[in-house]
Chain A
Amino acid sequence: MRRLWISVGILLFLLGGSLFNAWYAKELTGGMEQRLRLAQQLTEQDQWEQALVLTQEVYDQWESRHFYLHATMRHSDTDQILRGFRTVMEYLRLQEPDQYNAANADLITQLELLAEMEQPSVVNVL
C-alpha cells in the first residue's frame, strides 16, 4: 500500500504543480497585458517617453522570469514574445503610432495565448 500512496502523492503533487503553473502564467501575463495596454493609452495621449518606460519595465519583468518561462513553456513561443518586445520598444523609440499599435496588439495577443495554452480547460485537453 505504501507504493500506492507514494504514487498517488506524486500524482497529486504533479497535478498541484501544473495547476499552480497555470495560475502563475495567467497572473504573470495578465499583469503584463494590462501594463502594455496602459502604455498604448499613454501613446494615444502623446506620452511616448512614459510609454517606453512602462514597456521597458514589462520587458525587464519578462527577462527576470527567464528561467521559469524556459523551463515550462515552448522556447519558440517565448522567443517569439521576446522578439515582440524588441519590436514594440523600437517603434516606441521611433514614435510610430500605426506600427506600434499593431506590434503591441500582436504582443498582447501572444501573451494571452501563452497563458491560455497552460490553462486546465476542456478546450486545451481536447
Chain B
Amino acid sequence: MVFFLFPPNFSGEFWAIRRIIKKEGGKTASEGAKRKSPKLFYEVNTVFTGLLRTVILYVLIIAGVRLMGKRQVGELEPSELVLSLIIADLASVPMQDYGIPLLTGVVPILALLCVTMILSVLTMKYVGFRAVLCGRPSVVVCNGALDQREMARNRLTVDELLEELRCQGYTDLSLVKYAILETNGKLSVLPYSNQKPPTARDMKVSVQESGLPRVVISDGRLLEHNLKALGHDRPWLEQQLRQRGCKGAEEIFLMMVDEQGGVYLARRELE
C-alpha cells in the first residue's frame, strides 16, 4: 500500500532528510532555517504514520469484535475475555511506538482472531471441548441448600453469593430452588415454583399478542422499510397522523407501530 501512496524513491529521501535533521542538532537558528521544509515534512510524516496506523488497527479490532458477536460486549467467556485483554494491548504498542513495525501488531492480532475463530467452531461442534475451554455451569444452591464444595471449587464466598442473590431480589435462601454459576461468571437464580410470579397462562387469562413494535418515524424521518414490513402503506400512515392531528412526518419525533396496529406517537417539541 505504501508504494501507492509514495513515489518509489520516497523511503530513501525520507531517511536522507531524517539524517539531515538529526545532524542539525547543534546548529544555529539561521542554519536550521535553511532545512525548515524537510523538518516540517518529517514531522508531518510522523503524524501521518500514527494516524494511518491508528485507523488500520482500529478497523481491525472493530472487525474482530464484530466477528465475536454481540456477547463480546457484555458477557464474556474465558477465551473471549483473554482475547479482549490481549488484543487491546497488542494494538496499542505499534499505535504509540512508531519504531515498531506495524506488522508486529497486525500479525498477532490476526493470529489471535483466527485461533479464537477455530476455538469457537470447535466448541460448537464438540461438547467435551466446550467443557474444557469454557468450563461447566456449577450448581451452588440446590433445593435451597448450599453446595459448599461447589462454592469452594469456584472460590465463591457466602457474602458474594448472598450479594448476587440480593441483586436479583432474593433475600431468603430457602426461596431459591437452584442458583447456578454460569460459565460467564453470572449467577442464574431459579426460585421454587410457588415463589414465581403468576403468568397469564397460570391464571388462564387470554392476552392478545402485540408482536414486535417497529419504528416508523424517527426524528421526522419516515422509515419506509419498517412501514412495509408491518404491511402498511403511506395512505394508512397519513390517516393515522390525521387522526392524531398531525400534518406530516416532520412533526413527529417518534412513531412506533406494533403488529396489531397499535400506535405510539411522540410529537416533536417546538424549538
A14 & B111 in contact (Cβ 8 Å cutoff): yes
A-contacting residues, B1-26, CB 8 Å:
2-3, 11-12, 15
Q: B103: which A residues are within 8 A, CB to CB?
A: 71-72
B102 & A4 in contact (Cβ 8 Å cutoff): no
Q: How many A-B residue pairs have CB under 8 A?
A: 53
A-contacting residues, B113-143, CB 8 Å:
113-115, 117-118, 120-122
Known: A7-B118, A8-B114. A66 touches B102 (CB 8 A): no
Known: A72-B103, A75-B98, A75-B101. A67 touches B118 (CB 8 A): no
A14 & B110 in contact (Cβ 8 Å cutoff): yes
Chain B's closest residue to A63 (CB) is B12
Known: A8-B114, A10-B114. A74 touches B121 (CB 8 A): no
| Distance in angstroms between the alpha carbons of A14 and B112 in the assembled complex | 11
Q: A63: which B residues are within 8 A, CB to CB?
A: 12
| Distance in angstroms between the alpha carbons of A3 and B121 in the assembled complex | 8
Q: A6: which B residues are within 8 A, CB to CB?
A: 117
| Distance in angstroms between the alpha carbons of A82 and B11 in the assembled complex | 14
Q: B110: which A residues are within 8 A, CB to CB?
A: 10, 14
Distance in Å: Cβ of A15 to nearest Cβ of chain B = 9
Distance in Å: Cβ of A29 to nearest Cβ of chain B = 17
B2 & A67 in contact (Cβ 8 Å cutoff): yes
A-contacting residues, B35-60, CB 8 Å:
none
Known: A7-B118, A8-B118, A11-B114. A72 touches B101 (CB 8 A): yes
B101 & A70 in contact (Cβ 8 Å cutoff): yes
Chain B's closest residue to A73 (CB) is B101
Secondary structure dominating the interface of A: helix
Distance in Å: Cβ of B2 to nearest Cβ of chain A = 7
Chain B's closest residue to A21 (CB) is B103
Known: A14-B107, A14-B110. A7 touches B99 (CB 8 A): no
Interface residue from A7, A11, A18, A66 paired with B15 (Cβ < 8 Å): A66
Q: B12: which A residues are within 8 A, CB to CB?
A: 63, 66
Q: A126: which B residues are within 8 A, CB to CB?
A: none
Chain B's closest residue to A17 (CB) is B107
B152 is an interface residue with CB less than 8 A from chain A: no
- For A4, A6, A8, A76, the residue with the greatest tally of chain B CB atoms inside 10 Å of its CB is A4
Chain A's closest residue to B8 (CB) is A67
Distance in Å: Cβ of A78 to nearest Cβ of chain B = 10
Known: A4-B117, A63-B12. A11 touches B111 (CB 8 A): yes
Known: A7-B114, A10-B110, A14-B107. A70 touches B11 (CB 8 A): yes
A1 is an interface residue with CB less than 8 A from chain B: yes
Chain B's closest residue to A70 (CB) is B101
- For B102, B111, B113, the residue with the greatest tally of chain A CB atoms inside 10 Å of its CB is B111
B-contacting residues, A38-95, CB 8 Å:
63, 66-67, 70-76, 82
A71 & B102 in contact (Cβ 8 Å cutoff): yes
Q: A76: which B residues are within 8 A, CB to CB?
A: 99
| Distance in angstroms between the alpha carbons of A3 and B120 in the assembled complex | 10
Distance in Å: Cβ of B21 to nearest Cβ of chain A = 13
Distance in Å: Cβ of B14 to nearest Cβ of chain A = 9
Distance in Å: Cβ of A59 to nearest Cβ of chain B = 12
Q: Identify 10 new A-B residue pairs, CB closer than 8 A, beyond the known A4-B118, A70-B101, A72-B101.
A: A7-B115, A7-B118, A8-B114, A11-B118, A14-B107, A14-B111, A14-B114, A67-B11, A71-B103, A75-B98
Q: Which residues of B contact A (CB under 8 A)?
A: 2-3, 11-12, 15, 98-103, 107, 110-111, 113-115, 117-118, 120-122
5 interchain residue pairs of minimum CB distance: A7-B114, A7-B117, A4-B121, A75-B99, A11-B114
